[in-house]
Chain A
């Protein structure tokens, strides 16, 4: 296991370094912005400034960067064991496939944890460094007392913790999908498109039922989905009530956290189940089974069917539904051809 972990670190070293540089950059940005705030309006006490608000914005931006880096990391982690000649060398080593996957996940999740711990240290240092004058500034403000209740170190830690759960879920989802789609690169791409397809379809369905209560419900589900899984638009006040800190303060567990923890547990269970069932190499087709191929084709066809709706929205085209069958057939033909070509090329 130790040797495998060393190998994993060596293979993913460039990505790990980029992650770390990213954490330093985002942490540095917070520090720089806080100092700027001190030099400008905060000192005058005319406007509010909360470190946790900046942390929220920074983590929101960092989420997309981290998600892309995570995709690259998963691709490199699985490229060798799935597609290259090296897979045979790795699989002939005296380790089980379970050990291989555990060592990969340890390095992947370990990287995320280390990087986020680094970022948290940056955030806390900034808070400590700026607290004395922010407190002074708040003393002059009417809402200063409420602000000081939200802008705390535990609140920052909790926010980073939830953000970490978000990224770990992204990572584990991508790893899980490696056991569904044969090729490492195709798996990452399908995972990304698959995740995007959920709000993509939901928005269309909500539009379809916009005049009924169902439309509003779907709209609400879509917003919830995006907020839960993308660390989107985190409002500090609401956040305080919905998170673990909220749980501590108000004895109320946040639904967002429950969904994230459940998602992580689901991915881990599925990864081990699929590892036993399919392993790294026992793929029967483009996906792990022909039935899964059919599901993928159906998914692509549905998404292609909806495509004219979005095109019409962008270019203000009327009667877009006329083009929907053509788009669906086109999408089906493309994915079908892709799967057949992949099957012919073999493993």
Chain B
């Protein structure tokens, strides 16, 4: 497996930024990393590309520990969430720098991408807009032909056309070369389309790792109508249940989100239910519901 993370833990002073994170990414797949701000995504990514070392557990890329491992680091592409280049360099100078650092760098491949992206190679990095810098970062990293590509918020600041092009470049490399990708993003709809699997982090802990279909199978939203509208006390009782993520209502129609559909239906049958209907949910909605209850999300990932 190209990316293996076992019981990873990382401290910043007394603060535990990562806590017992376990992720495996299959070869030739795109893996999404989601979580609210401060959930530990960037910390994990920095450890994955060898910027930080972790205090607990193990991180392996292509079967080897990554920190201070020159051979492995040369096989990892890293697109950071904002410009991390030498600001005074021109694109040409950066290409030269990349050629010096990475023998696998192909200028012809960069030029192919640039044919679409149309970046002026004589321009300095600090004269480029945020979106242009992101395009440049993706192009430089893909032109290196990395075996593993790690991207932190790669589509932030990009217009829709550039976003589509960039994602197409990545997909093309995954299909043609079997490159493995780990991508963190707040654009969940985008990840839903792109990713084979998704891992969700919250407060440094891993909530789940699963395929998009599995997550959608496990977390369901039901539209429920009862014979007699529920009392506040009953609603609160439902909310207390481990299997219930959220209960809301519009008039007499209740919307119940659960991580265990069978048990939830059993429970609802005892409350004189008239109608139960499944409502399809996007990954974004699932993300919102799973982040609603902090106490719940910290307990046990197997609940999902």
Contact = CB atoms under 8 A, between A and B. Distances in A.
A and B: interacting chains: yes
A285 interface: yes
A91 interface: yes
Contacts of A88: 46, 51, 80, 84
Nearest to B77: A92
Contacts of B71: 94
Please classify how large the interface on chain B is, using the bins under 10, 10 to 19, 20 to 34, 35 or more.
20 to 34
A284 B13 CA distance: 5
Given A86-B84, A89-B80, A92-B73, A3 B100 contact: yes
Contacts of A227: none
Contacts of B68: 96-98
Contacts of A96: 68, 70
Interface in B49-90: 49-53, 68, 70-71, 73-74, 76, 78, 80, 82-87
A95 interface: yes
Interface string A79-94: 0100001101101111
Contacts of A291: none
A92 B100 contact: no
Nearest to A99: B70
A186 B71 CA distance: 34
B74 A91 contact: no
B86 A86 contact: yes
Contacts of B101: 3, 93-95
A94 B78 contact: no
A131 B74 CA distance: 58
A6 B86 CA distance: 13
A285 B85 contact: no
A7 B89 CA distance: 10
A281 interface: yes
A281 B73 contact: no
A86 B73 contact: no
Contacts of A6: 100
Q: Give chain A's interface secondary structure class.
A: helix
Given A88-B80, A281-B51, A94 B102 contact: yes
B70 A95 contact: yes
Contacts of A98: 68
Nearest to A279: B53
Which of A85, A88, A97 counts the most chain B CB atoms within 10 A?
A: A88
Interface residues of A, number: 22
B97 interface: yes
B157 to A, nearest CB: 15
A136 to B, nearest CB: 55
A145 interface: no
Contacts of B53: 282
A2 interface: yes
Contacts of B73: 92-95
Which of A91, A92, A95, A282 counts the most chain B CB atoms within 10 A?
A: A92
Contact of A92 (B51, B82, B83, B97): B51
Nearest to B42: A88
Nearest to B137: A89
Contacts of A89: 80, 84-86
A284 B52 CA distance: 13
A85 B102 contact: no
A272 to B, nearest CB: 13
Contacts of A94: 70-71, 73-74, 101-102
B83 A85 contact: yes
Nearest to A2: B100
Nearest to A343: B13
A250 B74 CA distance: 55
Which 7 interchain pairs have the tightest Cβ spacing? A3-B100, A89-B84, A94-B74, A94-B73, A91-B51, A92-B49, A92-B78
Interface of A: 2-3, 6-7, 80, 85-86, 88-89, 91-99, 281-282, 284-285
24 contacts: A2-B100, A6-B100, A80-B86, A85-B80, A85-B82, A86-B86, A86-B87, A88-B46, A88-B84, A89-B80, A89-B85, A89-B86, A91-B50, A92-B76, A92-B78, A92-B80, A92-B84, A93-B73, A94-B73, A94-B74, A95-B101, A96-B68, A98-B68, A281-B52
Interface of B: 13, 46, 49-53, 68, 70-71, 73-74, 76, 78, 80, 82-87, 97, 100-102
